[in-house]
Amino acid sequence: MVPVRRLLSLGVAGFAGLLGAALIFGAQSAGVGPARIPYAVVIFGIQALFVLAWTVAVRPPAPRVVATVGILTAILADVAAVLPKQASVAPIGYVAAAGFVAGVIGQLSRRAGRVRATESLGATLVIVVGVISFALLIVLTRLYLGTQAIVVSMSAVAVSLVVARVADAIAPYPRLAPQVPRGAGGIVVGAMCGTFTAAILGSFIVEFSPQRGAMVGLVAAIAAVLADLAVGYVEAGRQLAGEPGSLWLARHLQGPLGGYALAAPAVYVISVIFLVPNL
């Protein structure tokens, strides 16, 4: 039975809250044209942290290649989200494809050649998808009710992750697995609190409603807590396989970063489907 480190859980909760605050207040500052650049800078900072944390934690072959591709993809994705006159995810999709191709070329150009190439390309794909997901939030600020959707959804994600981690520090029961220091109660309560927070915000935000807020918040909160939990299972599986554990700081940053990365595209999709057509 892996023990739960309570102070560490509280520290991860604080980090998750800071990420949410950066995304929420940054979206409020996003304007038209060049005024979107400050938010793009905030997004890039989070993307760079995502790339570094996942590269260090996963330890792929040729980590410099993986990290370089991730950083370059993040920069190009943010530019592709800011510059076009019409808000569209197509340029970001092209950047994602180019990033993966660059990862393949960089991997095959190494002296080691194809040794552990599949593992390296898998890590590259995860990192490219992660940084692309954060860039979608920039595009979302350009859509109808997009900024409001970011405020509601990222608040739900922040509350769900913080509550889940604080619950683990107080009462991590029932344990989901002996090797994973997380409790099922925190996951469920966190998702519920995140959804409730989104519903309350929806009742105060103009052109939103409690129903819309709860819908967006539920999707974002569930995606975030499940991604955060999945990181713990991956780390436990790595240790059970006899592989050395990841750097402790990187693997604990992975969870909240992965939660926001998975919630961002889910929020974008549900906003486009249910909010934009109501214009």
Give 114-142 pLDDT, tens digit per residue: 656 777 788 899 999 999 999 999 999 99
pLDDT in tens, 72-111: 999 999 999 999 988 899 999 999 999 999 988 887 777 6
Residue 20 domain-assigned (yes or no): no
Does 136 share its domain with 149?
A: no
Does 149 share its domain with 162?
A: yes
Which tokens is 66 given? Answer: 């993986």
Does 179 share its domain with 74?
A: no
Q: Tokens 């980590």, residue?
A: 63
Residue 25 domain-assigned (yes or no): no
Does 171 share its domain with 123?
A: no
Residue 276 domain-assigned (yes or no): yes
Does 94 share its domain with 107?
A: yes
Residue 2 domain-assigned (yes or no): no
Does 150 share its domain with 272?
A: yes
Which phi and psi angles does 171 have, rounded to 5°? Answer: -150, 85
* The predicted structure's pLDDT at residue 236: 84
Does 80 share its domain with 168?
A: no
Q: Per residue of the chain (279 residues), what is the pLDDT tens digit? A: 888 899 999 999 999 999 999 999 999 888 777 888 999 999 999 999 999 999 998 888 888 889 999 999 999 999 999 999 888 999 999 999 999 999 888 877 776 656 567 777 888 999 999 999 999 999 999 998 899 999 999 999 999 999 999 999 999 989 988 889 899 999 999 999 999 999 999 999 988 999 999 999 999 999 999 999 999 898 888 777 777 666 778 888 999 999 999 999 999 999 998 887 644
Last residue of a domain, one of 140, 165, 184: 140
Does 247 share its domain with 229?
A: yes
Q: How many Cα neighbours within 13 Å face the side chain of 34?
A: 0
Residue 191 domain-assigned (yes or no): yes
Residue 235 domain-assigned (yes or no): yes
Closest-CA residue to 267 (of 164, 169, 137, 174): 137
Residues 6+ apart with CB under 8 A from 244: none
Three-class DSSP labels, 200-245: HHHHHCCCCCHHHHHHHHHHHHHHHHHHHHHHHHHHHHHHHCCCCC
Q: Could you tell me the residue range of the domain that residue 255 belongs to?
A: 145-279
Structural domain count, the chain: 2
Residue 229 domain-assigned (yes or no): yes
Residue 95 domain-assigned (yes or no): yes
Handedness of CA 137, 139, 145, 147 (dihedral sign): positive
- Alpha-carbon distance 175 to 229, whole Å? 12
CA 128 vs. chain centroid, Å, equals 12
Does 55 share its domain with 151?
A: no
Last residue of a domain, one of 140, 157, 189: 140
Last residue of a domain, one of 109, 140, 171: 140
With a pLDDT cut of 90, the percent of the chain lying above it is 68
Closest-CA residue to 199 (of 220, 226, 229): 220
Does 173 share its domain with 51?
A: no
Does 127 share its domain with 153?
A: no
In the chain, the N- to C-terminal Cα span, in Å, equals 53
Does 136 share its domain with 231?
A: no
